[in-house]
Amino acid sequence: MHKGRITCNNMKIGIMGDIHGNYAALRSVLNDMNKNIIDSVIILGDLLFWGEEPQKCFEEVESLAPIVWIKGNTDLWLNEINEKFHPATKRENEIYHEFLRVKQLVSNETIDKIKNLEERQIINISNKNILCVHGSDRDINEPIGIMVPNQDIYDIFDRLPSDILLCGHTHMPYIASYNGKLIMNVGSVGLPADESRASYGILNFINDSFEYSIRRVVISQGN
């Protein structure tokens, strides 16, 4: 696991996940970030699969020079699947054909970059440890959100070694805080599950404190 430290007193960070090859949604969110004067971005995985413009999404994200960029569960398909893969179920067959489709739409350099991303990273900003994952602190496929019982959320807080946990995967934004710790699921840019608008998160560090919020953005096809 990579752990980095960013020394600063003031920084506003935009957190995106689950872009899923939806370039129009990504551009809509980035336009909103520009209006909110975002300094840096964190990417929480699931960048390429299911959308129509995965390569453009990759190039746009790469140009942002994210301070954290991790892989999600669909990004893992590039590590787990190849042309010799034999689907055993209907779901595996769907995933395999999606793998073949996207592989034709992205460059070899893109594939190599995604395959080599880490699954989790910890950074420190203004003396706050921030754990960045796709699913949960335990598993890339484990959800954290409104569907999780309250006691399980308290258990996450109790075992969490960091001050802040950033995640996605469920495609629905969710925020919880307890004993000075924060969990923020930023939802999905490209495939929101709870409504039609994209979502992303903002962490705004101001001296020794921070503010947090979820932004909802109308997806415009004209970006």
Rounded distance between C-alpha atoms, residue 99 and residue 82, angstroms: 8
**pLDDT given at position 223:** 64
In this predicted structure, the answer to whether residue 4 has a pLDDT above a threshold of 70 is no
Residue 41, pLDDT above cutoff 90: yes
Sheet with strand 174-178: strands edge to edge: 2-6, 121-125, 128-132, 164-167, 181-185, 174-178
Q: Residue 131 carries which side chain, given as an amino acid letter?
A: L
Dist CA 194 CA 172 (whole Å): 6
| Distance, CA of 174 to CA of 194 (rounded, Å) | 11
Percent of residues, the chain, with pLDDT higher than 70: 95
pLDDT tens, position by position, 188-220: 999 999 999 999 999 999 988 899 999 999 999
CATH superfamily of 2-72+118-217: Metallo-dependent phosphatases (3.60.21.10)
Domain boundary assignment for the chain: 2-72+118-217
pTM: 0.95
Burial of 129 from C-beta contacts in 10 A (0-12 / 13-18 / 19+): middle
Which pLDDT band, with edges at 50, 70 and 90, does 8 fall under? low
Judged by DSSP in three states, 175 sits in: strand
Across 142-152, average pLDDT? 97
Span 48-52, mean pLDDT?
Answer: 96
Q: What angle do CA 124, 146, 189 make, to 5 degrees?
A: 65
| Residue 29 and residue 217 in contact, taking contact as beta carbons nearer than 8 Å | yes
Mean pLDDT over the full length of the chain: 95
Type of residue at 189 = V
